[in-house]
Amino acid sequence: MPAQGQPDKAAAVLAEARTEAEISGSRITLLSIFSDLSQIETQRGNATEVENLRQQAQKIIEYVTDH
C-alpha cells in the first residue's frame, strides 16, 4: 500500500509524480500513479475521486491498446 500510514504525504508525492508523468507523456507511469492514488482515495472514502481516477486510467488503456 503506497500510503504506509501517511496518506496525505503519499498523495502529495504522487501528485508531484503525476505532474511529471503528464509532462513527459509517460502513460504507463500514470497508470501506476492512478492505481496508488485510487488506493489512498479508497482509504479516505472518496468514491468520486476513485471513479475519476478509474476513468482516466481507462482512457490511457484505450489509447495504449489502440496504438
Residue 1 located in a structural domain: no
Angstrom CA distances, 47 to 20, 39, 44, 52, 53, stand at 25, 11, 9, 9, 10
Which residues form the domain of 24?
A: 7-66
Domain count for the chain, please give it. Answer: 1
Report yes or no on 52 lying in a domain.
Answer: yes
Is the pLDDT at 1 greater than 80? The verdict is: no
Residue pair 17/29 in contact (Cβ under 8 Å)? The answer is yes
**CA–CA separation, 30 and 11 (whole Å):** 14
Q: Is residue 26 part of a domain?
A: yes
- pLDDT value for 33: 97
Residue 42 lies in a domain: yes
pLDDT tens-digit profile of 5-62?
788 999 999 999 999 999 999 999 999 999 999 999 999 999 999 999 999 999 999 9
Task: Determine, yes or no, domain membership for 33.
Answer: yes
Closest CA to 53 of 65, 37, 40: 37
